[in-house]
Amino acid sequence: MTAGSIQSRLNPAVRGLAISGIRRFSNLVAETPGAISLTIGQPDFPTPEHVREAGKAAIDAGYTAYTPTAGLPELRKAAAAFVQEKYGLSYDPATEVLVTIGASHAIDISLRTLLRPGDDVLIPAPVYPGYEPQVRMAGARPVFVDTRQDGFVVTPEALARVWTDKTQCVILPYPNNPTGAAPTRAQVEALAAFLAEKDAFVVSDEIYSELVYDEAHTSIAAYPGMWEKTVVIHGLSKSHSMTGWRVGFVFAPGELTAEMLKVLQYSVSCASSISQYAAVEALTRGKDDAHAMREVYRRRRDVVLERLGAMGLQVTKPGGAFYVFPYIGQLGLSSFEFASRLLREGKVAVVPGDAFSPLGEGYVRISYATDDALLSEAMDRMERFIRSLPTSNAGIP
């Protein structure tokens, strides 16, 4: 086969995908000596020592064989107890909890189970770029819902404007990447009241739920009429700084998990046994490990907000996660141009907003999951760069 003929024979749903803009900009940092990266959404803390020791102990004990496809029974039990204690969610660990290779895998098997060709999936945007490709690969159509005028939190009114008889699923990505938006209890209650009356599934990605600053995290699955139709996505990457361990969870009614288990089995057999034993430790003795990290992130958030304000940038105060999403449209540059020039001229890497759907244009994402000194230096460099722009003088005192 020639190169052209090979391409023509490939899955068009895959050929139409693009590499994430987050990764593209992260890779550019390596090509820019002296650059400070504020791009990747990865905690800058090590995995807690007691969790690492549990992983080592599992290796030494020879726990290196396959586990049940759904995951270790003791891990599913610990996961169910964790979400019960933290968020008031009740799941049977034997039939309503699945262990996956990270939250992204959990989303993948959920969407491949829930979606049919031609279905519509409503996705609040700006949003993490991982959902759209998974929706498309499942044969469904992503429909972005504009949240920019509502503090980046989707409202029932916004959903109603785009709802059709093809709407099969709504993704609720809160706390949010890239904006840090975290709905209040009242906002979640309003969404639950609206969605409980709709004949559609909800995939609630709650991977950042332990990193909420101003009001305790509320899961939509806890509201009347929602548990039965909601798939809750969770994991340990953000709460326990375990990105490389790849442990995620699906919580859903048994009727759904029984079908998802088939997709899980034929895609990966099971998650890493070593990671699962470490995860048991994380969710039991380490169930509150995120608290200390959260307070550091809260302090960094406040510092970054103050610095961005001094630069004359508009930004909605994040309620969770470890991102800020300032508006830079008034500077006369597209988000890609701003990020490219900031990297080239200011030696700071941020992610252009258009990486988070077309509704992210005019913004950039800054991750403050980085060392305090580096973060401070990055803010200094960013301010100098903005001051150098001919359109910036009116925005900075």
Intra-chain end-to-end CA distance of the chain, in Å: 62
Residue from 133, 181, 136, 141 nearest 162 by CA: 141
> What are φ and ψ of residue 98, in 5° steps?
-125, 140
Last residue of a domain, one of 283, 306, 326: 283
Rg, Å, the chain Cα set: 21
| 397 falls within a domain | no
CA atoms of 28 and 364, how far apart (whole Å): 16
pLDDT tens-digit profile of 201-230? 999 999 999 999 999 999 999 999 999 999
| 227 falls within a domain | yes
Judge contact between 200 and 192, C-beta under 8 A: no
Sequence-distant (≥ 6) Cβ neighbours of residue 263 within 8 angstroms: 109, 112, 113
Last residue of a domain, one of 266, 283, 300: 283
> What are φ and ψ of residue 68, in 5° steps?
-55, 145
> What are φ and ψ of residue 127, in 5° steps?
-155, 155
CB-side neighbour CA atoms (13 Å) of 134: 22
Q: Which two tokens stand for residue 169?
A: 């699923």
- Furthest-apart CA atoms within the chain: distance in Å: 64
Q: Return the CATH number at 152.
A: 3.40.640.10
Q: Return the CATH number at 326.
A: 3.90.1150.10
**Which run of H or E residues covers position 202?**
strand 201-205
Q: Based on the fold, state whether residues 305 and 266 are members of the same structural domain.
A: no
pLDDT at 169: 98
Q: What residue type is 314 in one-letter code?
A: Q
Q: Based on the fold, state whether residues 274 and 384 are members of the same structural domain.
A: no
CA atoms of 366 and 208, how far apart (whole Å): 16
Q: Based on the fold, state whether residues 365 and 273 are members of the same structural domain.
A: no
Contacts 24+ apart (CB under 8 A), 134-139: 134/107, 134/108, 135/111, 136/13, 136/16, 136/17, 137/13, 137/14, 137/17, 137/112, 138/111, 138/112, 139/13, 139/115
In whole angstroms, how far apart are CA 236 and each of 13, 290, 316?
30, 10, 27
Query: What total number of domains does the chain contain?
Result: 2
> What are φ and ψ of residue 110, in 5° steps?
-65, -50
| 52 falls within a domain | no
- In DSSP terms, 250 is beta-bridged to 98, 233
| 190 falls within a domain | yes
- The whole domain housing 175 covers 65-283
pLDDT at 7: 80
Residues of the chain with confidence (pLDDT) below 70: 1-4, 21, 391-397
Q: Based on the fold, state whether residues 166 and 23 are members of the same structural domain.
A: no
pLDDT at 29: 77
pLDDT at 22: 72
Q: Based on the fold, state whether residues 164 and 300 are members of the same structural domain.
A: no
Last residue of a domain, one of 222, 249, 283: 283
Q: Based on the fold, state whether residues 278 and 355 are members of the same structural domain.
A: no
Q: Based on the fold, state whether residues 105 and 149 are members of the same structural domain.
A: yes
| 54 falls within a domain | no
Cis check for the bond before 126: say yes or no (omega within 30 of 0).
yes
Q: How many CB atoms neighbour CB 62 within 10 A?
A: 8
Q: Based on the fold, state whether residues 71 and 164 are members of the same structural domain.
A: yes
